[in-house]
Chain A
Amino acid sequence: MKKIINDPNEVVHDMTEGMIAAHSDELKQISGTTVIAKVNAPISGKVGVISGGGSGHEPAHAGYVGNGMLDAAVAGEVFTSPAPDQVLEAIKAADGGAGVFLVIKNYTGDVLNFEMAAELAEAEGIKVEKVVVNDDVAVDDPSSRRGIAGTIFVHKVAGAKAEQGGSLEEVKAAADKAVNNMRSMGMAMTPCIVPAAGSPSFQLGENEMEIGIGIHGESGIERKEITAADDIAQELTDRVLNDFDFTGEAAVMINGLGSTPEMELYIVNKKVQSILAEKGITVYKTFVGEYLTSLEMTGCSVTLLKLDDELKTLLDARAQTPAFHS
């Protein structure tokens, strides 16, 4: 294992300290926790929006803390959901009296810990609502679909709604709409190494790729021989389009998993755009880059979000965070 780390057990701690040092004008750490919040959080009267999950997905989640997106993010150990007490600290850090909205990705650990934290917060008199993001079409059964890169669209939409003064119920309605109109599909060519494990999460031959991977170094639903970018883009996009009718206007995200150069992401995007044009889907906005990674995994995912006027406005609204500006 070659990594620029100190103690494998201290990577999250070391990362959050370094992140705060880099963005001290925007972010603060809640003392004694792995919670990173906006410097001015909580904001009185505004719905707080929080997210979080395992570390190793940078810039998620703390990279999206800032104006117009998240009020706080909570970092678990690498690929491991944070515990309920930590999530509760994030809820408290974001609570300005109007309630707190939780963006949860659909993994058993995340759902369990965030639900327990929500129960604890409600016991303390804080109003809490949530959305469980399940955009990954690689899994057939919608109830067990994972939350992957589309989560960033949910951060954006919920964050914008809260920034505009939306109530907890309105923030939830907007986030639900985003989740219900969004699908993603990913692929990888190499596994990744969890620092404390020290060895790759799975083995792939030189000419092999995994289709339908999650974001935790787990293997995908199908292993096959690697093909050209256009074929990969076609397969990912087909899976997304076959699952949901995107006719109309859509936002596109081509997300890199940590070790894929932008050059390759743009090559994928070129093909995705031409497929969508052929299908008569109008691309309103495109995002290409690393939004939700899986340590140093090589690969990408394609996300589509079907837009209406409300979602367009929320997507366009001003946001200023370390990892996202609009």
Chain B
Amino acid sequence: MELTVQDIVTWIEKANEKMQANKEYLTTLDQEIGDGDHGINMARGFQEAAAKLADNDYPDAEAVLKDTAMTLMSKIGGASGPLFGTAFLKMSVASKEAETLDYETFKHGLKEAVEGIKQRGKATEGEKTLVDVWAKMADLFNKETDFSADKIADEANDAMEQTKDMMATKGRASYFKERSIGHIDPGSASSQYIFTALAEVIGGKL
């Protein structure tokens, strides 16, 4: 199986729908251990990205991922803009001249995305950040041999849930120290929406 340009556009559209539907929930998560704007920012960024993709025609996967990256980077703001933007930018670079994304290309892109997020945010696994979801997804893709909607959705959800018991050591939640335990990391929650949206696109093709 492989993802076409249209599949990637649908992926971002579905991710946008989830950001809009869960905007207040994400903001509530962020009010608990951050500054309370994550839902607002993600909803704004993905709305702009979905609108941008709808208005344009793209020759290949690289181009659509790049436009997604640049829009997220400039429209989300905060720490999330550079981090989610970097993730999609790395996926774009890793898909160089690929018209569609086969499993190997996607797997490679995801690995690069995780490296990019870690490097940009100077973060690693276990620090209660979006890295905890993205790194788990890269691990899953390494273990598997083809896209599996169910496994992607389940793993993303598990990875997000696991951030609940972590103590934040990176980002604004780290100021809360022990008080950050017991709350799902907002960046992990929005990452989970991104991968659930991907699972839906894959599920729709099977």
Contact = CB atoms under 8 A, between A and B. Distances in A.
A20 interface: no
A227 B121 CA distance: 39
Given A79-B35, A83-B74, A109-B77, A144 B82 contact: no
A109 B174 contact: no
Interface stretch (B36-44, B50-58, B137-145): B36-44
B37 A146 contact: no
A144 B37 contact: no
A267 B80 CA distance: 40
A112 B79 contact: yes
Describe A's contact surface by its main secondary structure.
loop
B40 A196 contact: yes
B81 A139 contact: no
Interface in A188-238: 194, 196-197, 199, 201-202, 214, 216-219, 221
Interface in A113-161: 113, 116, 138-139, 144, 146
A80 interface: yes
B27 interface: yes
B170 interface: yes
Contacts of A146: 175
A80 B41 contact: yes
Given A109-B80, A113-B81, A83 B36 contact: no
Contact of A201 (B31, B80, B177): B31
B76 interface: yes
Contacts of A113: 77-78, 81-82
Q: Is the interface of B mostly helix, strand, loop or mixed?
A: helix
Contact of B174 (A77, A144, A217): A144
A242 interface: no
Contact of A217 (B36, B41, B73, B74): B36
B131 interface: no
Given A139-B175, A144-B174, A218-B172, A83 B81 contact: yes
Interface string A64-106: 0000000000001111111111100000000000000000000
B37 A81 contact: no
B126 interface: no
Nearest to B173: A218
B14 interface: no
A108 interface: yes
Interface in B20-67: 27, 31, 34-37, 40-41, 44
A121 to B, nearest CB: 15
Contact of B36 (A107, A144, A201, A214): A201
B120 interface: yes
A196 B172 contact: no
Given A107-B172, A109-B77, A144-B175, A78 B31 contact: no
A108 B175 contact: no
Given A216-B35, A217-B35, A83 B75 contact: yes
Interface of B: 27, 31, 34-37, 40-41, 44, 73-83, 120-121, 170-172, 174-177
6 contacts: A79-B37, A84-B82, A86-B74, A107-B79, A216-B35, A218-B34
